[in-house]
Every structure is written in structure tokens, then in C-alpha cells.
A and B are shown apart, each in its own frame.
Chain A
């Protein structure tokens, strides 16, 4: 047994300081015994890795989790997490720190306030969890370098039959709807230039993301046309 034999595994893992690693490499070129040992350790290490990976994957594949999230839905997860944190801010009334979420009061001031909203203003924290906020759509508008957000209620809502006032307290009713602009979800450069959309996240009253929908963002011109 030579002096190097105690550090072979650390060397194999790339955990030796640079100087020592260089010495070890030179030693291994000369010492057949240590070379042999390194191979034995490497096999044991690779074997363990393959074995634990196989066991892990087998256990995971055997019973797919009921609430498992597939990698393809990863972006949705990111959006949902962002939305959840945004919702926390909404409930604690510190919403002005957040770019894309409007408080009930703000939404109400820019649209015709509906009955559920008034209720929400009276008893904000407790009622908000159960009251469905109308589909007010925050929109990031870039003008003169300053990013501003405006809210407006889409026209289809006006045409759609209004739910009866006070009947929105069903547990199934979405608690909050939040819109997140695409460039806050995706890494820079992931969204091609000229393409713009917003993720609408519908939160259930238990805080989970119930529905995530991507919606193309209208240009200023289209928006004015829609309002007219």
C-alpha cells in the first residue's frame, strides 16, 4: 500500500486540490497497483449510481404520483408559483409592489364595480378567498419608456349572462384570476420578437392553480378597436 492509496476515491471524484491532483495523476502513470484500485473503485461507484438510479426510477414509475407534474408543464409550474406568491401579496394588501396584479379597489376604480367587488372591499381578506373577482385583465403597456398597467374588462363579459349576485360563493368558483405577461415567465430571448401573450392563471379557493391559459396580447390598435 503506497501513500497515495488513501486519496484515490477523492481523486476519482475530482475533490483533490489542484496540486495534489497533479501529483496523483503522475503517480498513477507509474503505479499499476493504484491504477487497478482506481478501476475497482470506479466500478463500485458506477455500479451504485446505476443501481440507485434504477431503483429510484422504478419506484417513481411504479405509481405515478396523483399530483405529479410532467416536465412539459414546467412553465405552468413556474407561472403557478409566481401567481401563488402574487396572490399572497394580494391578500396581505401589499399589491403595489407587484407589477401585474391589481387590487380589488384598483380594478373597481377602472371598471364598473360589480356587487362581489363591493363585498370584497368591505371585508377584504376573508371574503376574497371565496368571492370571484371579475375577469379584469391587467395589461402591460409600454409608452414613452415607462411601463404602465391598465385594466379593462373584456367585452365578452358584458355580453355573457352575469352570474346572479351573491351566488359566487360556491367552493368551485375561482378565487382569484391573475395575468402574467410572457416576458415575466420566460427567460429573456425565449419569446420571439413581435410575439406577445399573457398567461391567465385561475386560482382555486384552496390556493392551487386551477387553470392556466395563454392568451395573445392585443396591440394598442386592436385594443382600441375592441373597446369601441
Chain B
């Protein structure tokens, strides 16, 4: 029976660790990633595609023995860049300001949006429309649970720049929403 058996040359514990890691990350990051991508302007379908591609890239990265540090910012960066690639390829909804897209979304009432008081909702919508693209991206990534350092890695800017951008963006929102 020796002819039909092969010795393991890749130890199983390593396979197991990678599968475990990928499963855990998928559970933790799938939702924030999808939200980030649709808020950037991708359709739900496009966002699903990008997230699946990103996790496939992550799997290849880990299987090739890539660094396991900063995985969260790694996968957000992959997704962010793929979203950007789609933007340059199609230049569709991206061209429309976030405000308009939110109008379209807000028409379909959901329990979540019902929670927000109508007036405050409108104020926020206007204020968000006035943010720069960099400010929006920073705040969206921050809402996705990323630290300043991680946001910097995703967007390719220094941590101090992220801190300044977040500070400026929150102050803008606070100013508009509390007059």
C-alpha cells in the first residue's frame, strides 16, 4: 500500500492556522469592507466582487508566507485600490457627489435610517456633502474601526496627516450640525 500514499511535506498545523486566520478575518472585516466600498460609490454587486477578490488576494498573500502584520490595513488597501481601479475604468457613479447617492439611498427607508431623526439626518447629509474626498475616506475608514496608523497605510499618507484630516473633518461636521 506504499504506492498510494504520499508523505506530507506541508505541515498541517500551518494550513490550519491560515484557514483559521482567514475565517476569523472574513467574519470580522466583511461587513465594514462592504460598507466602505458602497459608501465610496460602488454598487452592492461590485462591492461583493471586490471583497471576494480582496480575500482571495489575502489568502494568496498568507499562503505565500506574506507578512501577517497589519492585515486589516492590508486588506482595506487592496479593496480601496480595486475600487479606485474600477473608478478609472468606468467613471460612473463615482462622478456623482456622495450627496446625490445618499438621496437615492435615503428614499428606500430602512430601520437604520429611521433611527436617525429626520432633521439631523438632513443636516448631516449636507455636511458630509461638503467634505473633501480625503476627509470622507478618512472618516469612512475610521467608522470601519481602523486606527489612524491603519488609515494612513490604506491611503498612503503619514499618520499625522490622517490625524489632521480627521480633526478637520469632524470639526466641519460639528460646526454644520450644531448651529
Chain A residues within 8 Å of B, Cβ to Cβ: 6, 9-10, 13, 15, 40-41, 43-45, 47-69, 71, 74-75, 77-78, 81-82, 84-85, 96-99, 102, 106, 109-110, 141, 146-152, 183-188
Contact = CB atoms under 8 A, between A and B. Distances in A.
A40 B124 contact: no
A114 to B, nearest CB: 16
Nearest to A37: B174
A57 B44 CA distance: 10
Contacts of B173: 44-45, 47-48
Interface in B17-40: 19-20, 22-24, 26-27, 30, 34-36, 38-39
Interface in B40-54: 43-45, 47-49, 52
B134 interface: no
Secondary structure class of chain A's binding surface, majority of residues? helix
Interface residues of B, number: 66
Contacts of B39: 52, 55-56, 59
B9 A97 contact: yes
19 contacts: A40-B174, A43-B178, A49-B143, A50-B115, A52-B39, A52-B140, A55-B106, A56-B38, A58-B110, A63-B45, A64-B44, A81-B56, A82-B15, A96-B6, A110-B4, A147-B12, A149-B8, A150-B4, A187-B19
Interface in B143-176: 143, 147-148, 163, 166-167, 170-171, 173-174
Given A6-B167, A185-B19, 8 more contacts: A10-B148, A15-B148, A51-B125, A55-B105, A55-B113, A58-B108, A77-B55, A78-B22
B34 A66 contact: no
Contact of A58 (B1, B105, B142): B105
Contacts of B106: 55, 58
Interface in B71-106: 102, 105-106
A99 B10 contact: yes
Contacts of B125: 51
A13 B148 contact: yes
A56 B147 contact: no
Nearest to A181: B12
A60 B30 contact: no
A41 B26 CA distance: 31
A53 B49 CA distance: 19
B112 A109 contact: no
Contacts of A41: 170-171, 174
B107 to A, nearest CB: 9
B167 A10 contact: yes
Contacts of B115: 50, 54
B161 to A, nearest CB: 13
A183 to B, nearest CB: 6
Given A97-B9, A184-B16, A185-B19, A56 B4 contact: no
